[in-house]
């Protein structure tokens, strides 16, 4: 299925592999690959070492909350310790997502999506009050085209429909405790906590029970339609579309009325007990067929959601941690590589604005993609590494030999 980037929305993400970016830069500036390859490798290695340290630390912070863990621990955390660890985890994940060039999905966008009908004909509702913590970040806005039959053409031919998607979508969820949620609902609806608690235990598998566990779920998805954001939550309630409700009302209602009329006629003309039992059975059969139709639609929807999630899911929980660190490492490496090459190849010192425009023009002409290059981030990394100097707001890079020596010194530390 072909995905098209939306070039009207400028993003920081650089959708090119590091190795290919290096090869393309060498070709663009007509350089000898063998001369610059050691520099490129050393730069990538330095970022790898630094992010490996972050990976180790983030895995340790996530361990007490990992729902998939099979490790034994003798540590017993208090509620205040869990709260502190949770705060530290969130404080580590958010900047990592930003360094991987993800953007936070606002509540306005989320609620706007909730009011749309899914392009798959599925409608679901989500109770966000079930969650104590919720983070959604996306990277890359794009679209694809689907073909579907429409009532406008009497379902005789297919129409081409644009579907807006998020190329990557991260979601973090911390469910509330069962007792806490029960107290909230009881206070809001004026019901007894005991009854609400019993109801939640039967209907809600998301809330955390009183077993001492603290779970934080992290998921990573790809190519999620804007209108299907609800299906990523574990507490979705499936609803039927208005079209399907009308369909069932027309067909089911007609059948039920017909069955009821037949039943009443037989009641009025047949007093034989066997005939009466047969008439009641026939009417019950009509009602059951209509109820079965409703359940069939619900089952079909659930199967469709399961299929979509199967193909959309990229990673879960501890795997998401590794995935995010890898993406952040890749993005920062590419930003530094681009900035160094354009500063080094400039015949005169570059100001930041000129560097920014040069790189964005290169991405547009070489790959046909409009990006908003994070020039401040790219320059800051090079300054910190000592690969460029700045004087009077103009940037100048070390020659590649000296830059390689500098990187080897940093890698040896």
Angle at 49 between CA 359 and CA 46, to 5 degrees: 40
Mean pLDDT across 252-269:
54
Q: In whole angstroms, what is the distance from residue 223 CA to residue 41 CA?
A: 31
DSSP, residue by residue, 42-69: HHHHHHHHHHHHHHHHHHHHHGGG-TT-
Segment holding 259, helix H or strand E: helix 242-269
Q: CB–CB of 357/60 below 8 Å?
A: no
Q: Quick check: 227 pLDDT over 90?
A: no
pLDDT of residue 126: 84
Query: What are the CA-CA distances from residue 93 to residues 88, 148, 153, 331 (Å)?
Result: 9, 39, 48, 16
- Where helices occur in 104-232 by DSSP H, the ranges are 107-114, 178-189, 193-203
pLDDT of residue 196: 92
Mean pLDDT across 38-56:
96
Q: What percent of the chain has pLDDT above 90?
A: 54
When the pLDDT of each residue in the chain is averaged and rounded to a whole number, the result is 84
pTM above 0.75, yes or no: yes
pLDDT of residue 251: 53
Nearest to 225 by CA among 303, 306, 120, 133: 120
Q: Quick check: 268 pLDDT over 70?
A: no
pLDDT of residue 245: 60
For 78-121, what is each residue's pLDDT tens digit? 889 999 999 999 999 999 999 999 999 887 878 777 666 555 55
pLDDT of residue 244: 57
pLDDT of residue 185: 93
Query: What are the CA-CA distances from residue 138 to residues 51, 103, 150 (Å)?
Result: 21, 5, 31
Question: For 121-135, 215-229, 312-326, 361-375, which range has the lowest pLDDT when averaged over its residues?
Answer: 121-135
Q: In whole angstroms, what is the distance from residue 21 CA to residue 29 CA?
A: 12
Question: For 144-158, 353-367, 392-406, which range has the lowest pLDDT when averaged over its residues?
Answer: 144-158
For 337-366, what is each residue's pLDDT tens digit? 999 999 999 989 999 999 999 999 999 999
**Using 50, 70 and 90 to split pLDDT, how confident is the model at 371?**
very high
């Amino acid at each position: 299925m072909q995905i098209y980037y939306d070039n009207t929305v400028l993003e920081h993400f650089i959708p090119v592999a590091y190795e290919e970016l290096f090869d393309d830069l060498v070709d663009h500036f007509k350089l000898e690959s063998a001369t610059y390859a050691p520099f490129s490798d050393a730069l990538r290695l330095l970022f790898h070492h630094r992010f490996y340290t972050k990976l180790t630390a983030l895995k340790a912070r996530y361990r007490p909350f990992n729902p998939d863990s099979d490790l034994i621990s003798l540590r017993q955390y208090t509620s205040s310790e869990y709260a502190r660890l949770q705060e530290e985890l969130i404080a580590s994940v958010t900047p990592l997502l930003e360094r991987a060039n993800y953007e936070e999905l606002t509540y306005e966008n989320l609620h706007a999506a909730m009011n749309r009908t899914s392009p798959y004909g599925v409608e679901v509702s989500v109770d966000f009050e079930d969650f104590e913590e919720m983070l959604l970040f996306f990277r890359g806005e794009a679209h694809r085209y689907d073909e579907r039959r429409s009532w406008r053409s009497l379902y005789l031919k297919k129409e081409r429909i644009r579907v807006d998607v998020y190329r990557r979508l991260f979601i973090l969820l911390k469910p509330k405790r069962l007792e806490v949620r029960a107290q909230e609902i009881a206070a809001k609806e004026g019901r007894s906590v005991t009854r609400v608690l019993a109801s939640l235990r039967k209907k809600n598998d998301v809330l955390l029970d009183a077993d001492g566990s603290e779970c934080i779920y992290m998921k990573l998805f790809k190519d999620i339609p804007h209108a299907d954001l609800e299906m990523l939550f574990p507490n979705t309630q499936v609803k039927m579309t208005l079209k399907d409700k009308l369909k069932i009302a027309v067909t089911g209602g007609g059948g039920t009325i017909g069955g009821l009329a037949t039943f009443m006629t037989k009641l009025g003309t047949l007093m034989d007990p066997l005939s009466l039992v047969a008439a009641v059975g026939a009417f019950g059969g009509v009602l059951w067929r209509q109820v079965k139709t409703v359940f069939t639609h619900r089952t079909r929807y659930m199967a469709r959601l399961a299929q979509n999630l199967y193909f959309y899911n990229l990673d879960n929980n501890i795997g998401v941690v590794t995935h995010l660190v890898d993406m952040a490492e890749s993005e920062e490496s590419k930003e530094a590589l681009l900035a160094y090459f354009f500063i080094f190849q400039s015949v005169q010192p570059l100001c930041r604005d000129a560097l920014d425009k040069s790189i964005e023009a290169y991405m547009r002409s070489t790959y046909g993609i409009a990006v908003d290059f994070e020039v401040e981030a790219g320059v800051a990394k090079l300054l910190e590494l000592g690969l460029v100097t700045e004087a009077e707001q103009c940037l100048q890079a070390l020659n590649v030999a000296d830059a390689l020596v500098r990187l080897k010194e940093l890698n040896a530390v």
